[in-house]
Each structure stands twice: as structure tokens, then as C-alpha cells.
């Protein structure tokens, strides 16, 4: 409930206060002296860190987003420190231990080739989070640029670009990816390109809609009257206003990108064996599902958990941003 | 219904009502110890600025507070029953049948997917058990009662198909349909144009007399109160500060806040040369930041030691109530919050418009036949038969000139094209025809083709201060840019200049480090004005700079604009829908209707005949916050015609009260000049107009 209290203290600023609520006698003590927010030249930078801190506070204020954020942070740690955590080599085959159920030696068991499933899931997290993360980041950058330009310029430029994006959006994401991978050939960089192409139009549309509402506001018009250049107006005046919507959209795109990478792996057109890709692991273990089900359940569970975690987190971000306006 | 109103007990009794809103685990009082009694058949005005709690009171009476609102203490007694003890199903019998509400926003209060007539007859069927056919007949009757033109057509329309004024009439008809004994009107005319507002208020005061209902009229507009109410309660920061009969309140306000409020609005016909507006310093305290003593103490010019204690509500002679420690001194006249007694200086500087223009010599801005037409999208059929696109004629041939250091007030109702003209001058919209000269040099229509020297000379203040500043840039950063970009100053010089500018608009220099969400609306508008004056522009376009501000803040912004303009010798185009505000600030007033000028007058002459028939109607429609002033009564029929198909001949002929006949329809009028050099666009000779028209504002 911390962020509620923040909203409360903001209301209490500036003056002597009379509060009529019973449980808050503590506020009355400080109410005699006029309070003012500390103002310094650094307040802008301070603002920014404050905003990140308050975002996390907000996320941990509700159980659903707290769980989501925790899940995401755990997977992020696992991805970052993967090699330190993993007990075995990724492709290390211990023939004697093949097809072992989960045990103390092999937490998630071993697959039919005697590889440790836990190790492969841990190392696989690096791959999938990096691919999905980098892909989303590039898509967000491209989408923001296109969305800003398209929304601000309007007229034929907007019309042309949006029709192109519409035609990309008309195709189901997976079908479009398969088509593109068919052309590019399966590899990590191809998957990256696919994510960028599939998600850029969506991000661009979100940014464009914000730009359309912001560009008629007084501050944008005032900067036009000051003779500001288009890049200045786009990036200094308009871009900050798109950030709340953009953050929420990026988090959502990220969860879908994880899903997409896993799906492509499963279909065998994404990351190639023997890399420990989660989707690929599910595909390989699918054949032996009745003999060694753990080899399939653990990577599949990891996919589900990350996607759910990121989704819950993005819901939380949305809630927090909307609360703070 | 008359049986109820005959007995003497009040319809509504509110006693010591305290309403709080929940913020997280805080409960913040929005209204404190509020008491009120409305007698049967009485019209009670509830006046206050935004944040004063007036709507909260109305909603508490309706039991509409929502999930966050809590009645913490007090009693609401309606028609002998304790309202707060009723449950929802019992309330449902009260709502609509005995107590109804006319809300502020007519569009969001009507269901967009149900025909208007059906929405009304549903109420009749539910509360009066009428069958479908009788309900329909009664609906049409009610529509006729509120003077809706063509009731049959309105009943069959959806809300989006009828105009704002018509929607508000529908809502009034709904509220009256069950002849309730209490009618709550929450700013019912605030979103309407003055001419529409005037005709609705007229009808409403007639209905009030007919129906004998008690009325709680919630508004911020003192002029409307003066026109319609019997008694007025003034709210400030959630507390009742004064409660008096209408005449008493306006003749002798006892609370310093009421005095300030009355002094801060310009009256119709007052000009800046004659009257100084009394601005109340500071702003209304936020919810939860209210002083423990007298709520008005921080802003009160009369505050003394004792004012840090909360004053009780005191009943004075003839039923007045006031919450002030010093009311006796105020009543005796020994102290007053009013700085200068307000009076009309009858004879001002009597120079005619020609003389004025000659005297000021330098023409800064010259508009010749400026047109701004927006083409509409053509349908496929129109494209195929190559029909030219129809156009919205927002500005349709306007010629004007502004002299150095002059303020030209551009006044018109919504849709008149006043804002578009202002935007065409600064270049935010491109004009489609005509010439605009600034300092004798022709301005290109497109903003991108104008050089820095031109931009330097042309600045604008926008209507909505909430949107005028980038929420992600500090005040200093926003203000620095024009200095660095247009005045080519270094960062250090610009920062120094920002401090000076902040001082000029009476803000402390440390505001440069604040973010826009840390300052109030009035302060934002000051910053926006400072930014506009940063480059010392030759021409400033101010587009409704005070219309979204509270009246007590409005006055200080008007005073500020006036001071800065005199100091910088800036020429100003001041755009507003508020005739009193324009009349106060402007030297010359141009009245615009459907994209065309109707009249150009010296401001002190605008309020005397002869005037253009449209000006005449506007003047009679403006509610004047002074019940002692007799206003002429001219009401326009119908709504403003669509700017796509503007009427032929004189654009005003469809609504003109002095309509002559064919000549007005077929022939465009010519500009005529009256004895004082004021120009009127009308077929009727000025002498004849002058003879026909009376003075619209007469003091008794």
C-alpha cells in the first residue's frame, strides 16, 4: 500500500493541515510547519530515480504484480549468472545417467542423451531472454521512430506507412515469422530480425496514437512557434509523453517475444540444435514424453512461467503508470 | 404538487454536513459543517470556485457520492425524512420522482444509443405508470414546455444529432417530468454559449415560478446567480462562508472572500482605464491542506491574530449567516477587503475609433480578406462526379488592423472562427486566402516558411494552462528555449533572463527548478505568459488565456497581461468568448460571427447603441453579477448555422431580431460608420439602428 501513502503525502504538501482520519495522528505532528518539496537543480535527475523506485514500490504493492516481478527477476538473475549456477556442461553427456528422473544429482532429471535438464534450462534462459529482449528493444526503437514521425508528419507519409504496417499486421505473427525464416534461413540473427519486423508495426501504432493526442497540445505548438526543429520537437517535447504507454507496450511485447522465440524453436525454424533453446528442448523431448516426461515438462514450465511473470509485471506497470497519471 | 408547497416547513434541511473522500487510508474532508435550509419554492444558489465542495454538497444530497465519498457527520432531511438513513431501494423512489438532478455535461448524461424521446418516456412509465402511448404524448408536451423546436423530430433523434443547448433542454425536461419538489442543477449552462445560456435561463426562471419546486442551483458564475436565485450560499474550501438573500449579498457582502469574488469579475462595460480588478492573492488550498483556523485566512487581506482560530458561523440580522471573526467591522464599513470602491466613471477618454487609430499611427498587423477554409473529405460519389470538396469556412474574409500597443479584443461564440483567426496569424493553421502583414512585411501562410525574425515577433498564449507546459520539462527548461533559440542567448544569459521573467510575472525565481505538476493552474498560465513575453514580441495572440481559470485567479492574470503589455508596448490580440473580459481588457473590440466580422468598436462604445444586432443580442445575454442592473432582453432563436453552408447575404439574417426582409438574404451588407467612427456590418442604417436600440445595461 506504499504508493497510496505517497499520493496522500503529495496532497498534504505546502501548508498546515487538518486531517480528519483517525489512524493518522502521526501526520498531525508534522503539520504545523509548512512543508515544501525540496527544490534543487538536480531535482530532475532525482525525479528520474525516484520514478524508478516508485515504480518498483507500486509493483510490489499488489500480490499479482509482485509475483510477476519476482518471477521475472529470478529468471533474469538465472540468465545473467547462468554458467555459475549450472552444475554440468550444456552438452555434457553422461551416458550412465541417461533418462534419470529428477534427483539430488540432477534436479530436473536427464534427457535421453544423458544431458542435465536443469543445466540446459538455466543456460537456455540466457538465449531466450537475450533474443527476446534484444528483439523487443530493437522493435521498440524502430517502432518509436516510425510512430513519432508518422504521427507528427501526418498526411501522405502517415497514410503510406500505416497501410504498409496494416498489411504486416494482417498476417498472423507466426505465419509471418515462418515466411520470413523461410527466406532468411534458421539462425539466431534471423529470429532477431523476425521479432523486429513482426513487432515494429505494433509499437509504431501505439506511439503514433499518443503523438496524435499530444501534438495538438499547447506546449508542442509553443515550441513550433519558437522555431524548434522537427527532431527537437519529436524527441524532446513529444517522446517523454509517450514513455508510459511505451513502457507498458514494451513489457507486453517482451512476453510475446519470449513466446515467439520458443514457438519458433519448437517448430525447428529458430535456434538450431544442440543449443539449449527451451522450445527446441520441448520439441526434442516430445518424442519420449511417456518415458522421460520431465525432460519436456521443465522447459515447457519455464516458458509458461516467464511469460506469465512478464505479463503480470506489465499489468502492474500499466496500473502504476495510470495511477500516477 | 401545490399541496406540499403550501406548508411552511423547509423542503431540504442540511445540518452540519461533513463529507470526506477516501485517499488510500486517509479520509480528507471536502465539506465541513455545512448547513442550509431550502424553503418550498425557493431558488437557492450555491456558489464557489472549483474545489470549494459545491458539487460534493449536491451529490451528498442526491446520495450519489460514489465509493470514495463518505458522509462523516451531519443530517440531511428531505421533506421530513432523514435521507441518510434510506437504503438504495428507498432512494430509488426518491430519485427522479421527488428529487431530480440536471447534470453539468449534457452529452455524457444521455445514453448515446437510445432515442432522446424514449429516454424521457421511460422515466414517465417507471414513475407514473403511464402506458407507452400516453408517455409519448406527455414527452412531446414536456419538450414543448422547455421550448425545444420541433419536439417530434427531437424525440426521434439520438443525442449526438442534436445541439448542446437542445440536449440541456432535454435534460431539464427529464428533471421536470415528474414535477419533483427538489431540483438540483449542477452548472447546467456552463458548457453552453451565452446566447443559448440566456434563453435556457429565461425558460428556467419561468418554469421555476410555474412549478413551485425548490431549487438548489450549483454554479461558479455569479452572473447567473444574480439572474435566477433568491438566496445565495457562498462556499470556500468546503466551508460555508456566507449565506444571504441575493440583494443583500451583492449590495453588501460581509465575508472578505465574497467581497474579493465580486471584485475579481469585470462587469460588462467596465474597462481597464476605469476599474482595477481586485485579485485575491494565492489559491484555494488543496484537499487535505486546508488551514485549521479560518479557511480563508492565508489569502485574506484582513486577517489578524484571531483568524488562526476557526470562526463559528454567525447569524446576523435578517437571516444572514457569515463565518468571519471580523464581520461586524466589515458590516459597519470600518474595514473592507475591497481596495477601491467600484464605480462607473461615466466619461472616459472620449476619442473616436478613427482618432484612436490615427493617434497610434504605426500599424503593426494588417489583415486583408483573410480566409481559412478547411476542405471536407469527399464521398466516393462526389469524387466520381468530380464535385469540388465542400468547405468549412472557419474564417471567411476578415480585414482588420492593429496599432502599436493596442489590445484588440476578438469576441464571438464557439464556432465563430475566433481561435482559427488567431492561429492563422501565428501560423499554426495556414490561411487559404488573403494577406497578413506584420510591420508592413507580408507573412507567409506556413509556419515553416517564416524566418526566426518573424517568429521572434509573434508569440501566443494558449487557452489551457494544463497543456501549455511540457509536463516532463522543468519550468526553467521550458522558458529557456525561446531565449536560446530565438534570442540567441547563451545558456547562462538565458537562465539569468528566466529569473527576471519569473519576477515579472510575480513568481519566485526558484520556480525555474519546479516541474509543471508542482504548480497550480494560475501559476502555469503565468509561466506561459512569461514564456510568450520572453522574446519581447511585437504581437501577442492570447487565445482565451483566462477562460479555464477560477475567477479569483482570472483577475490577477488579466491585471498581469495588462501590466506587461503596457511595459513592453506589445500589441495584443485578445480572443475570448467572455464579453465582459474582452470589454475590460481591450481598446478596440471586434465581434465575429460565422467567420465574418460584424462590428468593430472602441470598447467603451460597444456597450452603447448603435450596435450590430448580434452584438445587441450578446450584450443582453451576458449574465451580469449585479442584480441592480436592468438588462435589455433580446433572445436569438435557433442555433448557429453550420459553417459549411453559411447563410447567403448577411450571415446573421437567420437569427437577426431586426431582420428586414429580402435584402438581408440576397445582398451582402456594407460596412457603415457611426458618429464615433465605429464600424457596423449591417443593412440597417446606423441612425435607424440607434433609434431602435436601447441601452442594454442600465443601472437602477
A246-274 tens-digit pLDDT:
988 998 899 899 989 989 888 888 778 77
- Residue B610's pLDDT is what? 85
pLDDT tens digits for B101-110?
988 888 888 9
By the CB < 8 Å criterion, does B518 face chain A?
yes
Set of chain A residues whose Cβ sits within 8 Å of the Cβ of B285: 15
Q: Report, as an integer, the average pLDDT of B51-76.
A: 88
Pair (B233, B368) in one structural domain = no
A254 domain residue, yes or no: yes
User: Which of these ranges, A32-36, A190-194, B27-31, B608-612, has the smallest mean pLDDT?
Assistant: A32-36
Pair (B228, B371) in one structural domain = no
- Is A325's pLDDT higher than 60? no
Q: What is the CATH number of the domain that holds A291?
A: 1.10.3720.10
Interchain proximity B288–A17, CB inside 8 Å: yes
Least CB–CB distance from A221: residue in B287, B462, B481: B462
Within the 45-104 window of chain B, which residues sit less than 8 Å (CB to CB) from chain A?
72
Query: Strand, coil or helix: what is B431?
Result: coil
Q: Report, as an integer, the average pLDDT of B470-481.
A: 89
B401 domain residue, yes or no: yes
Query: B188, B218, B244: which is the final residue of a domain?
Result: B244
Angle at B681 between CA B679 and CA B686, to 5 degrees: 65
* Cα-based distances in Å from B377 to A322, B383, B388, B644: 36, 10, 10, 12
A305 domain residue, yes or no: yes
Distance CA B148, CA A70 (A): 62
Q: How many domains does chain A have?
A: 1
Q: What is the CATH number of the domain that holds B124?
A: 3.40.50.300
- Residue A106's pLDDT is what? 76
Query: B192, B223, B244: which is the final residue of a domain?
Result: B244
Residues near B203 by Cβ (< 8 Å), separated by ≥ 6?
B146, B147, B169, B172
Q: What is the DSSP letter of B154?
A: H
Query: B220, B244, B268: which is the final residue of a domain?
Result: B244
Between these two residues, A102 and A189, which has the higher pLDDT value?
A189
ipTM for this prediction: 0.81
- Residue B342's pLDDT is what? 52
- Residue B350's pLDDT is what? 60
Distance CA B571, CA B402 (A): 7
Distance CA B22, CA B288 (A): 11
Set of chain A residues whose Cβ sits within 8 Å of the Cβ of B25: 1, 4-5, 8, 21, 23-24
Give the chain A residue whose CA is nearest to the CA of B484: A226
Within the 230-259 window of chain A, which residues sit less than 8 Å (CB to CB) from chain B?
236-237, 240-241
Interchain proximity A12–B290, CB inside 8 Å: no
Positive or negative torsion for Cα B189, B193, B198, B204:
negative
B295 domain residue, yes or no: no
- Is A21's pLDDT higher than 70? no
- Is A231's pLDDT higher than 80? yes
Pair (B233, B362) in one structural domain = no
By the CB < 8 Å criterion, does A152 face chain B?
no
Domain of residue B463: give its range: 353-472+515-697
A38 domain residue, yes or no: no
Domain of residue A164: give its range: 67-324
Distance CA A15, CA A35 (A): 6
pLDDT tens digits for B326-382?
888 888 877 877 765 555 444 445 667 777 666 666 888 999 999 999 888 888 888
pLDDT band at A39 (very low <50, low <70, confident <90, very high): very low
- Residue A324's pLDDT is what? 57
B304 domain residue, yes or no: no
By the CB < 8 Å criterion, does A39 face chain B?
yes
- Is A229's pLDDT higher than 60? yes
Set of chain B residues whose Cβ sits within 8 Å of the Cβ of A241: 470-472
Pair (B233, B365) in one structural domain = no
By the CB < 8 Å criterion, does A25 face chain B?
no
pLDDT tens digits for B559-576?
889 888 888 889 999 999
By the CB < 8 Å criterion, does A5 face chain B?
yes
B158 domain residue, yes or no: yes
Interchain proximity A225–B470, CB inside 8 Å: no
Distance CA B76, CA B82 (A): 6
Q: What's the alpha-carbon Rg for chain B, to the nearest Å?
A: 27
B387 domain residue, yes or no: yes
By the CB < 8 Å criterion, does B320 face chain A?
no
Give the chain A residue whose CA is nearest to the CA of B287: A11
Set of chain A residues whose Cβ sits within 8 Å of the Cβ of B455: 225-227
A199 domain residue, yes or no: yes
By the CB < 8 Å criterion, does A2 face chain B?
no
Backbone angles phi, psi at B27, to 5 degrees: -120, 115
> Which cell numbers in the block locate residue B444?
507567409
B215 domain residue, yes or no: yes
Amino acid at each position: 500500500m506504499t504508493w497510496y501513502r505517497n499520493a496522500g503525502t503529495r496532497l498534504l504538501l505546502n501548508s498546515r493541515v487538518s486531517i480528519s482520519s483517525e489512524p493518522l495522528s502521526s501526520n498531525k505532528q508534522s503539520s504545523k510547519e509548512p512543508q515544501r518539496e525540496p527544490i534543487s537543480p538536480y531535482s530532475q535527475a532525482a525525479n528520474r530515480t525516484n520514478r524508478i523506485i516508485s515504480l518498483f514500490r507500486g509493483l510490489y504493492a499488489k500480490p499479482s504484480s509482485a509475483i510477476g516481478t519476482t518471477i521475472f527477476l529470478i529468471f533474469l538473475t538465472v540468465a545473467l549468472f547462468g554458467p555459475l549456477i549450472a552444475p554440468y556442461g550444456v552438452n555434457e553427456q553422461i551416458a550412465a545417467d541417461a533418462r534419470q528422473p529428477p534427483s539430488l544429482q540432477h534436479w530436473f532429471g536427464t534427457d535421453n542423451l544423458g544431458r542435465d535438464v536443469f543445466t540446459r534450462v538455466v543456460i537456455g534462459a540466457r538465449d531466450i531472454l537475450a533474443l527476446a529482449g534484444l528483439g523487443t528493444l530493437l522493435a521498440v526503437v524502430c517502432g518509436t521512430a516510425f510512430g513519432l514521425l508518422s504521427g507528427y508528419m501526418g498526411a501522405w507519409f502517415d497514410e503510406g506507412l500505416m497501410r504498409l504496417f496494416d498489411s504486416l499486421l494482417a498476417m498472423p505473427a507466426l505465419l509471418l515469422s515462418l515466411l520470413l525464416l523461410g527466406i532468411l534461413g534458421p539462425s539466431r540473427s534471423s529470429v532477431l530480425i523476425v521479432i523486429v519486423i513482426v513487432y515494429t508495426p505494433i509499437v509504431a501504432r501505439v506511439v503514433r496514437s499518443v503523438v496524435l493526442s499530444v501534438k495538438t497540445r499547447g506546449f508542442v505548438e509553443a515550441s513550433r512557434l519558437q522555431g524548434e526543429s522537427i527532431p527537437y520537437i519529436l524527441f524532446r517535447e513529444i517522446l517523454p509523453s509517450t514513455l508510459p504507454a511505451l513502457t507498458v507496450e514494451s513489457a507486453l511485447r517482451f512476453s510475446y517475444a519470449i513466446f515467439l522465440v520458443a514457438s519458433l524453436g519448437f517448430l525447428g525454424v529458430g535456434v538450431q540444435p544442440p543449443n539449449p533453446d527451451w522450445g527446441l528442448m520441448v520439441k526434442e523431448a516430445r518424442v519420449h514424453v511417456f518415458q522421460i516426461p520431465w525432460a519436456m515438462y521443465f522447459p515447457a514450465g519455464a516458458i509458461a512461467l516467464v511469460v506469465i511473470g512478464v505479463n503480470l509485471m506489465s499489468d502492474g506497470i500499466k496500473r502504476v503508470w495510470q495511477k500516477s497519471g | 404538487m401545490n399541496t406540499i408547497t403550501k406548508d411552511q416547513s423547509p423542503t431540504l434541511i442540511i445540518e452540519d454536513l461533513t463529507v470526506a473522500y477516501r485517499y488510500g487510508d486517509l479520509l480528507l474532508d471536502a465539506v465541513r459543517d455545512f448547513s442550509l435550509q431550502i424553503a418550498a419554492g425557493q431558488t437557492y444558489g450555491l456558489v464557489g470556485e472549483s474545489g470549494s465542495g459545491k458539487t460534493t454538497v449536491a451529490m451528498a444530497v442526491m446520495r450519489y457520492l460514489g465509493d470514495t465519498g463518505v458522509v462523516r457527520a451531519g443530517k440531511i432531511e428531505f421533506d421530513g425524512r432523514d435521507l441518510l438513513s434510506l437504503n438504495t431501494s428507498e432512494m430509488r423512489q426518491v430519485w427522479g420522482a421527488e428529487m431530480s438532478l440536471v447534470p453539468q455535461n449534457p452529452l455524457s448524461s444521455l445514453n448515446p444509443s437510445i432515442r432522446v424521446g424514449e429516454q424521457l418516456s421511460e422515466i414517465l412509465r417507471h414513475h407514473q405508470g403511464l402506458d407507452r402511448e400516453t408517455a409519448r404524448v406527455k414527452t412531446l408536451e414536456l419538450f414543448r414546455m422547455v421550448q425545444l423546436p420541433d419536439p417530434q423530430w427531437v424525440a426521434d433523434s439520438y443525442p449526438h444529432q442534436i445541439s448542446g443547448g437542445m440536449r440541456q433542454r432535454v435534460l431539464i425536461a427529464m428533471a421536470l417530468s415528474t414535477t419533483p419538489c427538489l431540483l438540483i442543477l449542477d452548472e447546467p449552462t456552463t458548457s453552453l454559449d451565452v446566447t443559448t445560456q440566456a434563453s435556457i435561463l429565461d425558460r428556467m426562471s419561468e418554469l421555476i415560478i410555474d412549478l413551485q419546486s425548490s431549487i438548489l442551483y450549483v454554479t461558479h458564475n455569479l452572473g447567473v446567480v444574480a439572474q435566477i436565485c433568491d438566496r445565495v450560499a457562498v462556499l470556500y474550501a468546503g466551508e460555508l462562508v456566507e449565506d444571504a438573500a441575493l440583494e443583500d449579498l451583492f449590495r453588501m457582502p460581509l465575508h472578505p472572500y465574497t467581497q474579493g469574488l465580486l471584485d475579481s469579475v469585470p462587469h460588462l462595460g467596465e474597462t481597464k482605464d476605469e476599474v482595477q480588478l481586485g485579485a485575491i492573492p494565492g489559491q484555494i488550498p488543496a484537499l487535505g491542506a486546508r488551514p485549521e483556523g479560518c479557511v480563508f485566512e492565508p489569502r485574506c487581506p484582513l486577517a489578524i491574530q484571531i483568524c488562526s482560530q476557526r470562526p463559528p458561523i454567525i447569524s446576523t440580522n435578517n437571516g444572514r449567516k457569515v463565518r468571519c471573526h471580523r464581520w461586524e467591522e466589515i458590516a459597519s464599513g470600518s474595514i473592507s477587503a475591497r481596495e477601491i470602491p467600484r464605480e462607473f466613471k461615466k466619461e472616459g477618454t472620449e476619442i473616436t475609433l478613427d482618432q484612436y487609430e490615427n493617434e497610434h499611427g504605426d500599424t503593426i498587423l494588417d489583415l486583408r480578406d483573410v480566409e481559412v477554409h478547411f476542405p471536407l473529405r469527399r464521398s466516393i460519389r462526389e469524387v466520381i462526379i468530380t464535385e469540388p470538396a465542400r468547405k468549412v469556412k472557419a474564417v471567411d474574409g476578415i480585414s482588420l488592423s492593429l496599432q502599436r500597443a493596442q489590445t484588440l479584443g476578438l469576441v464571438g461564440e464557439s464556432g465563430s472562427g475566433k481561435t482559427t483567426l488567431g492561429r492563422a496569424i501565428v501560423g499554426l493553421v495556414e490561411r487559404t486566402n488573403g494577406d497578413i502583414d506584420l510591420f508592413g512585411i507580408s507573412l507567409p501562410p506556413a509556419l515553416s516558411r517564416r524566418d526566426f525574425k518573424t517568429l521572434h515577433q509573434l508569440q501566443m498564449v494558449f487557452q489551457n494552462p494544463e497543456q501549455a507546459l511540457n509536463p516532463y520539462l522543468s519550468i526553467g527548461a521550458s522558458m529557456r528555449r525561446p531565449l536560446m533559440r530565438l534570442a540567441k542567448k547563451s545558456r547562462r544569459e538565458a537562465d539569468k533572463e528566466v529569473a527576471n521573467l519569473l519576477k515579472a510575472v510575480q513568481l519566485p525565481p526558484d520556480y525555474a527548478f519546479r516541474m509543471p505538476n508542482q504548480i497550480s493552474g494560475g501559476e502555469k498560465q503565468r509561466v506561459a505568459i512569461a514564456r510568450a513575453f520572453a522574446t519581447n514580441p511585437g504581437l501577442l495572440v492570447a487565445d482565451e488565456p483566462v477562460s479555464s481559470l477560477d475567477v479569483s485567479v482570472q483577475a490577477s492574470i488579466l491585471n498581469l497581461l495588462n501590466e506587461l503589455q503596457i511595459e513592453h508596448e506589445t500589441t495584443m490580440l485578445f480572443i475570448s468568448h467572455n464579453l465582459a473580459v474582452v470589454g475590460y481588457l481591450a481598446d478596440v473590440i471586434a465581434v465575429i460571427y460565422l467567420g465574418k466580422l460584424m462590428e468593430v468598436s472602441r470598447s467603451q462604445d460597444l456597450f452603447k447603441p448603435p450596435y450590430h444586432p448580434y452584438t445587441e443580442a450578446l450584450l443582453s445575454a451576458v449574465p451580469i453579477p449585479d442584480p441592480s442592473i436592468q438588462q435589455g432582453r433580446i433572445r436569438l432563436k435557433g442555433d448557429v448555422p453550420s459553417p459549411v453552408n453559411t447563410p447567403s447575404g448577411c450571415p446573421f439574417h437567420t437569427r437577426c431580431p431586426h431582420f428586414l426582409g429580402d435584402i438581408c438574404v440576397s445582398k451582402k451588407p456594407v460596412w457603415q460608420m457611426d458618429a464615433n467612427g465605429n464600424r457596423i456590418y449591417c443593412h440597417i442604417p446606423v441612425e435607424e439602428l440607434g433609434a431602435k436600440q436601447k441601452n442594454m445595461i442600465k443601472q437602477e
